[in-house]
Amino acid sequence: MKIRTVGVIGSGLMGSGIAQVSAQAGCPTTILEVSKELLDKGMQRIQGFLDSGVDKGKLRPEARDRTLSLLKGTTEMKDLSECDLVIEAITENLSAKRDLFSAASKVCSEKSIFASNTSSLSITEIMTASSRPERFLGLHFFNPVPLMKLVEVVRTIVTQDEVESAALEFVRATGKTPIRTSDRTGFIVNRLLVPYILDAIRALENGVGSIEEIDAGMRLGCGYPMGPFTLLDFVGLDTTYYIAGIMFDEFKEARFAAPPLLKRMVLAGTLGRKSGKGFYDYSQDPPVPQNHLTA
Ligand code: 3HC
């Protein structure tokens, strides 16, 4: 079993990145979106990334053009019917994902492998809405997808070995390193990353150090590319809050509980880079740390 053609559902930040790396691996890739406007936005993001790669001398113009020629957009599910692999990257909502795979099961070839890019929902719970649990797995990419070198390949109790092997081979073809993991909430990376970034907020709440000092501590002391507050703003505070909630519900462990400051910031709409303000204010260059503790 070899994956040659790919369908990606959703052209947001993750979906467009996944479609890009799939096409860069030489796979004809079809992106499904709910509207032409969203599709255009996703395609523009890909084009922009590839163009900047050419400008930086990281990518040859021919490679960019070949990647773009392998990408197709659609708003019709039936256009994914012959894809060897269909990867879902829509919003983190269990019932929306289940509805999607139930619909995809009706139009896609029985041989198609289905994958979800969920970061925290149960692959098993999503899978049971599809017609092919044994051909279903998780493929968890990291943000920004074109630059991050890891993909978690998540098997369930019933995933066939040959399906997992085909997925591992596909991930390697994208130039990324797969790690195998089983279907436990948060998989490997978020199991370790989420308590770490929540602890950074608790350290701030406890007066251990300022935002810049805690960020500098982890960047310069541990060699992390971003400190925890820069990373929180990058991932989105709402996304982190949501993932922490799912992990806390599953494990009932205090280390997954969202600190009050995170909750207050999410409710107030300070979500990080996407809203212009989070732990830093991005209206200024360089971004300025925001002290919300006294508010
Ligand atoms: N095309 C090709 N290459 C490009 C490129 C482009 N358009 N843009 C940048 N690059 C290359 C650069 O040339 C550089 O290559 P080099 O290492 O060979 O010099 C490399 O990519 C890094 O690019 P930059 O120098 O522009 O950027 P930084 O060095 O500042 O790195 C970063 C940016 C990769 C985002 C880095 O800050 C990082 O790794 N941050 C951490 C991100 C992270 O932790 N992500 C995971 C989030 S958690 C998640 O996603 C899980 C979810 O479930 C929540």
Q: Which of 190, 187, 181 is nearest to 159 (CA)?
A: 181
At 178-189, the pLDDT tens digits run 999 999 999 999
Are 154 and 34 in a shared domain? yes
pLDDT given at position 291: 85
147 three-state secondary structure: coil
Q: Whose CA is nearest to atom 18 of ligand 1?
A: 58
Q: Is the pTM of this model over 0.75?
A: yes
For ligand 1, whether the C-beta of 235 sits within 6 Å is yes
CATH of the domain at 167: 3.40.50.720
Residue 1 lies in a domain: no
- Do 129 and 208 reside in the same domain of the chain? no
Same domain, 93 and 148: yes
Whether 72 is covered by a domain: the verdict is yes
Q: Which residues pair with 137 in a beta bridge?
A: 115
Average of per-residue pLDDT values in the chain: 97
Same domain, 171 and 218: no
Confidence class for position 53, pLDDT limits 50, 70, 90: very high
CA of 226 to the centre of ligand 1 (A): 10
> Does ligand 1 have an atom closer than 6 angstroms to the CB of 4?
no
For residue 277, pLDDT beyond 80 = yes
Q: Residue 104: which pLDDT band, with cuts at 50, 70 and 90? A: very high
Q: Are residues 86 and 195 in the same domain?
A: no
Centre of ligand 1 from the C-alpha of residue 231, in Å = 12
Which of 150, 182, 214 represents a domain boundary (last residue)?
Answer: 182
| Residue 144, ligand 1, Cβ within 6 A | yes
Residue closest by Cα to atom 39 of ligand 1: 225
- Specify whether 144 is located in the same domain as 249: no
pLDDT the model gives residue 249: 96
Tokens (6 digits) for 146? 């074109």
CA of 147 to the centre of ligand 1 (A): 5
Determine the pLDDT at residue 1.
85
Beta-bridge partners for 150: 177
Question: 177 CA distance to ligand 1 centroid (A)?
Answer: 15
Residue nearest to atom 36 of ligand 1 (CA): 225
63 within ligand 1 shell (Cβ under 6 A): no
Q: What is the pLDDT of residues 219-273, one digit of tens each?
A: 999 999 999 999 999 999 999 999 999 999 999 999 999 999 999 999 999 999 9
Q: Are residues 161 and 244 in the same domain?
A: no
What span, in angstroms and rounded, lies between the C-alpha atoms of 63 and 209? 46
pLDDT band, residue 292 (cuts 50/70/90): confident
- The per-residue pLDDT for 163 is 98
User: Is 161 inside any structural domain?
Assistant: yes
| Same domain membership, residue 173 and residue 108 | yes
**94 and 225 housed in the same domain:** no
State whether the beta carbon of 148 lies less than 6 angstroms from ligand 1: yes
Residues 159 and 21 in one domain: yes
- Domain-embedded: residue 243: yes
pLDDT tens string 160-215: 999 999 999 999 999 999 999 999 999 999 999 999 999 999 999 999 999 999 99
Domain count, the chain: 2
**Rounded percentage of the chain residues whose pLDDT exceeds 70:** 100
- Domain check: are 57 and 150 in the same one? yes
Q: Which residue has the tokens 């041989």?
A: 111
Choice among 46-50, 146-150, 233-237, 290-294 with the minimum mean pLDDT: 290-294
3-state secondary structure of 228: helix
Domain that holds residue 199: 191-284
- Shared-domain flag, residues 207 and 165: no
The verdict on residue 144 lying in a domain is yes
Local structure of 129: helix, strand or coil: coil
CA angle 13, 222, 209 (to 5 degrees): 90
Q: What is the CATH number of the domain that holds 200?
A: 1.10.1040.10
